[in-house]
Structure 1
Amino acid sequence: MSRIENQFTVQFWGVRGSIPSPGPHTVRYGGNTPCISMQAGDKRLVFDAGTGLHVLGQSWLRQMPLEGHIFFTHSHWDHMQGFPFFTPGFVKGNDFHIYGAIAPDGSTIEQRLNDQMLHPNFPVPLQIMQANLKFYDIRPGQPIHIDDVTVETAPLNHPGEAVGYRVNWRGGAVAYITDTEHFPDRLDDNVLWLARNADILVYDSTYTDEEYHSPKTPKIGWGHSTWQEAVKVAQAANVKTLVIYHHDPAHNDDFLDCVGQQASEKFPGAIMAREGMVLQIPTSVALSESFPVSKFST
């Protein structure tokens, strides 16, 4: 078996929440909205399709024809606005499997991607994409199997609903948990379950506790969490590396430097998500299970 065939990596293409934030004060961490990719052997997995998906797509042009699996946490605009600019989707011979939960209004992920490309929002429809697009409606709580890759899912606490993911491959595990808001009196059982013993936890840390509880402009009910809550989850779930993710558009590079320093003091395995960052996950190591394997709450 070659080293590439046994490689499990995560790459960050967009790490900013809410709205793209380009400019001189966001250069070091990046201004594109959410998109990460994982390579598990020969399997390409993508999570969310923010503006970072365009950058990912450009890098994939040298690898065509290709097959990939794209998972949506939800369809708020910052998590899907890059899809109409995903160049490999317009190229015949490419295959993409697209996954998302049915929205509270009953719409599928295919319907929502179609709607954002209709007039007057976009000049050409979804159907102009020449790649083979296959859509799958998922039910949070049910796993998805892609050969030897298992993707576990759970509902998150977010307005309009969202899905958290955990990718398991050859003993390695990565949890992708955004967008979600913590509970005031307890840790979320679904979040803990997805994060259990993970090698990497990518967690929605949009705010600081001070911003979240601000007496003038509180963020309670906005659907996002804080880096302090991320640390609590990482500690409780026995996570190895915590990635602070979904940066607020108002947080410049210097602010995020300070967050990173404070987070690493509280949890030595904490790092800040940056565009272009690549993390390696060890494989062929058995994980101990100290959390329930099928516990969900809504």
Structure 2
Amino acid sequence: MSDFLIRFWGVRGSLPCPGAATKRYGGNTPCIEVRCGDRLVILDAGTGIREFGAALDQQGSPIDADLFLTHCHYDHVIGIPFFSPFFQPQHRFRMWAGNLLPDFRLKEVMQSMMSEPLFPIGIDTFRADIDYRDFKAGETVKLCESVTVRTVPLNHPGGATGYRIDYRGRSFSYITDDEWRRSKPDPQLIAIAKGTDLLIYDTPYTEAEIGAKKGWGHSTWRDGVDFAKAAEAKTLCLFHHAPEHDDDAIDVLLAQARAVHPSTIAAVEGDVIRL
């Protein structure tokens, strides 16, 4: 059976928070490496993508990969100017975004982010072959015969896109920056995670904190458990850890979640999951 591998390069939300208090779970913002056999898919381009780029450089071979962004808030794209493979002509990438149309285009957003006075160099300094692709969340992208990416719109300010990747009878869902609709859960959201082997979900806040965060587009571990149960997901992974939560605080959240849903884990920078 071909490898289906998920590796965490960044697991924090909002902004990076390096330091002694966050070294166990990690302080980089979202980036996930997905290997479907020989196919490389990257999910989000937060600060974690810088170290991922350095690891890819060590491989020395040409890269052909797809980078799917949940959305373009800074914590999910801030690593793009520091992703070294983008500056090397032997590589080829397709960069996807599903929440920008009709008001924006991905290439224009990237040009704006990497321009004065925000940044000293533009996307024209990239030497890799980068194809910027816009779509509308809800569409399905067939990457090849064995890899299918299903998408869903999320409940987040400005919009965001959730993903499910299916590969040779296995699947995982990456749903981050979503505010769980407690009174009326979104059936599209449940459907895209239905029966998935791994559900990575946005769970930065505690039940005590969420009241003051209404409308911010985020959820709690309790929401994640409710989602996982509704979708009958095999494993729930807590993700997008709040920067104000140190490692000990995440330990507590994980313990609380496991007390009611034993098949729960928490995303840890550097960890690898094989499905």
Normalised to the residue count of structure 1, the TM-score between the two structures is 0.90
CA drift of 1:186 comes to 2.2
- Work out the CA distance in 1 between the residues paired with 2:263 and 2:154: 24
Structure 2 match to 1:245: 239
Structure 2 match to 1:295: none
Structure 1 match to 2:93: 96
Contact between 2:101 and 2:134, CA under 8 Å: does it hold in 1? no
- Work out the CA distance in 1 between the residues paired with 2:182 and 2:173: 22
Contact between 1:7 and 1:39, CA under 8 Å: does it hold in 2? yes
Query: Deviations for 1:177-207, whole angstroms, at most 9, x for unmatched residues?
Result: 0110011302222220121100000000011
Contact between 2:182 and 2:223, CA under 8 Å: does it hold in 1? no
Query: Deviations for 1:115-165, whole angstroms, at most 9, x for unmatched residues?
Result: 111011111111111000011111111100111200000100000000000
- What pairs with 1:249-260 in structure 2 (closer than 5 Å)? 249-260=243-254
Structure 1 match to 2:49: 53
Pair 1:66 & 2:63 matched: yes
Contact between 2:198 and 2:236, CA under 8 Å: does it hold in 1? yes
Q: Which runs of 5+ in 2 are unaligned?
A: none
Pair 1:15 & 2:11 matched: yes
Structure 2 match to 1:124: 121
Contact between 2:71 and 2:99, CA under 8 Å: does it hold in 1? no
Match of 1:135 among 132, 137, 140: 132
Match of 2:255 among 252, 258, 261: 261
Distance 1:180 1:255, change over 3 A: same
Match of 2:110 among 101, 110, 113: 113
State the one-letter code of the partner of 1:75. C
Q: Secondary structure at the match of 1:119?
A: coil
Contact between 1:104 and 1:160, CA under 8 Å: does it hold in 2? no
- Work out the CA distance in 1 between the residues paired with 2:98 and 2:254: 32
Q: Count how many residue pairs are aligned between Structure 1 and Structure 2.
A: 273
Contact between 1:101 and 1:109, CA under 8 Å: does it hold in 2? no
Contact between 1:101 and 1:108, CA under 8 Å: does it hold in 2? no
Structure 2 match to 1:170: 168
CA RMSD between the two structures = 1.1
- Work out the CA distance in 2 between the residues paired with 1:50 and 1:189: 29
Q: Secondary structure at the match of 2:8?
A: strand
Query: Deviations for 1:36-84, whole angstroms, at most 9, x for unmatched residues?
Result: 1100011000011000111111111122311110001110000000000
Match of 2:269 among 262, 275, 281: 275
Q: Which runs of 5+ in 1 are unaligned?
A: 282-298
Pair 1:179 & 2:177 matched: yes
Query: Deviations for 1:224-272, whole angstroms, at most 9, x for unmatched residues?
Result: 0111000011111111111100000000000001111111111111001
Overall identity of the aligned pairs, in %: 41
Q: Secondary structure at the match of 1:25?
A: helix
Contact between 1:177 and 1:204, CA under 8 Å: does it hold in 2? yes
Q: Which region of structure 1 is more displaced relative to structure 2, 155-164 or 178-187? A: 178-187
Query: Deviations for 1:254-297, whole angstroms, at most 9, x for unmatched residues?
Result: 0001111111111111001010010011xxxxxxxxxxxxxxxx
State the one-letter code of the partner of 1:249. P
Pair 1:236 & 2:230 matched: yes
- Work out the CA distance in 2 between the residues paired with 1:11 and 1:266: 26
Q: Secondary structure at the match of 2:7?
A: strand
State the one-letter code of the partner of 1:278. V
Q: Secondary structure at the match of 2:179?
A: coil
- Work out the CA distance in 1 between the residues paired with 2:224 and 2:99: 27
Contact between 1:49 and 1:83, CA under 8 Å: does it hold in 2? yes
Contact between 1:203 and 1:245, CA under 8 Å: does it hold in 2? yes
Contact between 1:205 and 1:245, CA under 8 Å: does it hold in 2? yes
Contact between 1:102 and 1:108, CA under 8 Å: does it hold in 2? no
Q: Secondary structure at the match of 1:16?
A: coil
Structure 2 match to 1:36: 32
